[in-house]
Amino acid sequence: MKLFEYIRDVRDFPKPGVTFKDLTPLMADPAALDDSIARLVAPFRGEPIDLVAGMEARGFIFGALAAKALACGFVPLRKPGKLPGATQAVQYDLEYGSASLEAHLDAFRGKRRVLIVDDVLATGGTAAAALMLVEKLGGEVMGSAFLLELGFLDGRSKLPGRRVHSVLSV
């Protein structure tokens, strides 16, 4: 299946000069969504992964579906103030601002083996923060998986020595 056909470019979003890669057409098509998840988790099938951690917001969609495909649990990495109970936060820079991710303090209890999943790997700031957060909370990161990698932004360089899988790359 040609997944690129289901990705729409939206120019000047969220600010002038940025071309946003809109994955909603892909998510709206059952066959494209199914194929994208199968490709996303393929390198990790049969590996001892306990949890998938997905970043807010589209990482929740792809992460939860990846967790189901791998028959493991899912942990949301949220924006500040969205989780009830005690949390740990990590702040990071975006290509157009800064942000934070939080997870429950007990999310990775027992050094759980974790796959980090998000929709797009851009500058790598969110992925690096997710990795740092998971490890701060005792998780062992087995790898990261992304549907789309924007190679020209070199986000992979923020994950040196780490296993990174991207289904598509531009």
Place of tokens 């109970």: 85
Confirm whether 11 is a catalytic residue.
no
Q: Which of 39, 56, 95, 135 is catalytic?
A: 95
112 Cβ neighbours under 8 A, 6+ residues apart:
50, 51, 138, 139, 140
Residue 150: name the closest of 128, 118, 121 by CA: 121
Measured at the CA of 49, the angle between CA 162 and CA 136, to 5 degrees, comes to: 55
Confirm whether 45 is a catalytic residue.
no
Residue 62 and residue 40 in contact, taking contact as beta carbons nearer than 8 Å: yes
Q: Which of 39, 58, 113, 162 is catalytic?
A: 58
DSSP state, 89? E
152 φ, ψ to 5°?
A: -65, -15
Q: CA 123 to CA 115: how far, in whole Å?
A: 19
Which positions are annotated as active-site residues?
Answer: 58, 95
